[in-house]
Structure 1
Amino acid sequence: MTPSASSAEVQTAQLLLERLGVSLEDLTSGQSKRAVPTFAEYVPVVYAAMPPGVTRENYKCYWKKVVAAWPDRRLDEPTITEFKQLIGTLQAQRAVRRTDRGGYALAQVAVNALRCLYRHAVDDKLISPADNPAIALVKPKRRSSSRGAIPTDRLAEINRVAAEYGDEPELTTLILRMCTETACRRGGILALRKQDLDPDQCLVRLREKGDTERWQPVSPTLMRALLDHHASRAHLRSGKSRLAGNGRPISRNADERLFRYKNGAPITATRFVIMWRQIGEQLPWVKQQGITCHWLRHTTLRWVERNFGHAVAKAYAGHADNHSDGATSIYTRATREEVAYALSALTGEPHPVAPQVATAYTEELSR
């Protein structure tokens, strides 16, 4: 039982408050201003504070589910057990796709979204670090990827089918070549704009996850194809409404995309789903294994690593240096010229960024 304060202690406290010019009303009003908001009140605040990008949109999906479940609950009310139950419910209600792996990725993103939300709450001093329930949430261990490199003969099958079937064979072929040459992620293709092309040096600026950005060499053939694609389709959008085929408005960022449909509308992530579904209709093994563009990234990077070493493969992939690689990796990182050399070996075309190396390789092939 907590002992009550003596009259002397009370008088001392009152005297101290008087000298500080603080009243009891000031103390109580200060506490009322720090009232903990509800999820419905605070989620929009955090969403607006985050920079636009894939991460914010991914987190938004899970924040909306939390708001739907507990709209009027304050941030300091749910327990760790309740959060675990909510994540388990989301896993059970997930849409099971052909690449489903038990909802482990869903749980990982959900935990990251909750940690982000509560990190902002701690920074805003709405809750104390000790009262942050998201810290105790454990993310499921990442499972080893089932994706891998595609054998050469099967990759040739994919490219053949892409050029002969589907509603957009020209677009599909260009996307596949872009993935194969640059080992880029899907986000890199969706973010590519006309101003990201450097025709003189045959470089494209790839902007991918984690706000990373790099200039990646491409072959002269691919550069010409990208320029021709933009020239033949971008002008078809002029004067048209900023609405997509589904009736939703096209954002400014999306309207700048280089890759477009026949009608000039910019592609979306749905294009990749349709593209691989059409290829899978002709090649059953593609559907059975869940082949996607990321398999092409595996294919190219494994070839580069086997032929040019880890440093070049790391630069080719656009992976950032980190402490786990050791300090030596800072000094042994590959140059853009070495990446261009590897690309020249892959495509058999000289590259302007590494002309001497590419020419030497071409002469060696001709012997």
Structure 2
Amino acid sequence: MAEAGTEPDDQYPSGFPIFAPEDFELICAIGSAFRHTTVIYLARHVLSDQTVVIRRCNADLLTDDELQQLAWEAQSSHWLQHSNVSPFLASFVAGMEVWTVGQLMHYGSCSDIISAGFPFGLSELVIAFILYDTLQALAYLHRMGYIHRGVTLRHLLVGLDGHSRLGGQRCMLDQYHHGVQHKKEFLFDSPVTTFPWLAPEVLEQNLAGYDYKSDIYSIGVCAVELAHGVTPFADMTTTQMLLLKLTSDPPTLVEPPTGPKRFSAHFHSFVNSCLDRDPGKRPSATRLLLHPFFKQIKRKDCGVWMVPQLIYPVYPLNPENQEISGDEGPLPLDSLLDYNDPPEPFWDFDTNPPMAAAAATAEAAATVQET
């Protein structure tokens, strides 16, 4: 990360020649992240007049591990170049704040879309478009030797053109160590995403380890959530969820008891293959891209341009209709954060569970070992 006011690296776009807070006009706050230690802004770059998203993070409130995650996310964005991976355009330090500049995805996350207008889930065609773009991003990351470890609906972002991008690289794990790619990973330091999306082999925390197939399980959970509008296991305690994931059948698509079926046989097959309890039997992201489930988006009369129409009446975020924060410059971050009772944000990208949840995971793992 560059200090404020220094010249950027060649890897940054030429539209951002100076990295300093005064180079951006903050329009309005649209969400929070990182346990509400970060405020997410809709902003405009003064020089290029480009609308962007800015995250202002109070580094004083982060633990050492969280600071390392933040630095890793900014660093990894330099060499990840794919149309379906959400990039950082720039990052810099201003006082005790870390500012990161990202691309605006006008429809927000898939979680936002469901909350705004689809409480019972999206249509199968929209789901196919979203998951196809997400799998292309995962296939790229896996080829590069990374495990994402944070595939949730809050990290599946939909743009104005209907294409989806995968965010949340802060959770990503590099499988290359000293130039050698490890087949299995054994890093169980702390939960890096909300528990319902984690694969069973990650929750087990045993000597068998896990690999990139854990991301495929997360894709299956996302598919069920997109279809029904409800996160699997969300209504359970951590211990109950862990026991069910390790001992019971995985979540599936649920058809209505009467009337025509809502989901195709190909969609059922896709979800079941992703959520197989045995990671060795789960297909890779590259192989899933060839699944018959995606034939419906490859018809001549079909295209990604249909996505904005299919998610109507959810409207994209329009910067022109937002009120400017003010001409006095950016407010101190402390004045925008309520540490006692943080408000419910419009866009919530918080993925790290509280420490109590982490303790509950350890307790649940101990319960499984005893049984």
TM range (shorter): under 0.3
TM-score by length of 2: 0.27
TM-score by length of 1: 0.27
Q: Name the structure where strand makes up a greater proportion of residues.
A: 2
Q: Name the structure where helix makes up a greater proportion of residues.
A: 1
The higher-RCO structure (CA 8 Å, 6+ apart) is 2
